[in-house]
Amino acid sequence: MKLYSYWRSSAAYRVRIALNLKQLSFETIPVHLLKDGGQQHSSAYQALNPAELVPTLVDEQGSLSQSLAIIEYLDETYPEPRLLPQEPFARAKVRALALDIACDLHPLNNLRVLQYLTGELALDEAQKLRWIQHWLTLGFNALEQKLQHTAGQYCYADEVSLADLCLVPQVYNALRFNVDLKSYPLIRQINHNCLQLAAFALAAPEQQPDAQL
């Protein structure tokens, strides 16, 4: 199993956590999103993933893109520990929390969006940072309220789920961009609880073979 990844990619971070939780061996194939004009734009990688994004997972079945699709595939193929509840309503609630982060929040601080802001739209670094902080704050405000109705030790009750795999990388981004998290006690506590688990700690960006500290 091979994971085409970039150390700071939130989407790749989610998949690394899932692979670690399920104790699956995998080879990391670094795809540097900044070197050489962005290695994700190379013809070789574009042939593997036409969207030119990471991650891409390759196993004996073929290649898969989109982190949530990859994680659901892993969950169905290697069902222990389960990352989506079996009960339909609980499963939908977990998916909704994950999608709040992965679809509504994360794309607004994605590298290619930020490059467009500072490139074609000519925003300066301070303006870019305000953009990031605005959208992260808006998203975290809503997420904190939702977690009041679902959280236990983790995002949904007391079992790690797909939602936690999305939350932790997004908190990492927020801290990186100096978002004040004091108004989000549930988010901070869940993030702390997750990071006590080896699967999350080993998936952290700084622990990756291509990390540049």
List the structure tokens of 86: 């079996």
Query: Nearest 5°: CA angle at 166, between 165 and 170?
Result: 125
- Backbone φ and ψ for 5, nearest 5 degrees, come out as -145, 160
Contact present, 54 and 6 (Cβ < 8 Å): yes
Of residues 114 and 197, the one with the higher pLDDT is: 197
pLDDT tens readout for residues 4-61: 999 999 999 999 999 999 999 999 999 999 999 999 999 999 999 999 999 999 999 9
For the segment 107-163, what is each residue's pLDDT rounded down to a tens digit? 888 888 999 999 999 999 999 999 999 999 999 999 999 999 999 999 999 999 999
Which two structure tokens, joined as six digits, stand for 61?
């079945």
pLDDT of residue 110: 86
- Please give the full DSSP string across 84-105, using - where no structure is assigned: S-SSHHHHHHHHHHHHIIIIII
CB 177 within 8 A of CB 136: yes
All structural domains of the chain: 2-81 (3.40.30.10), 88-199 (1.20.1050.10)
What is the model's pLDDT at position 44? 94
pLDDT in the model for residue 31: 96
145 CB burial (10 A radius; 0-12, 13-18, 19+): exposed
CA distance 194 to 12: 17
DSSP-derived secondary structure letter, 58: E
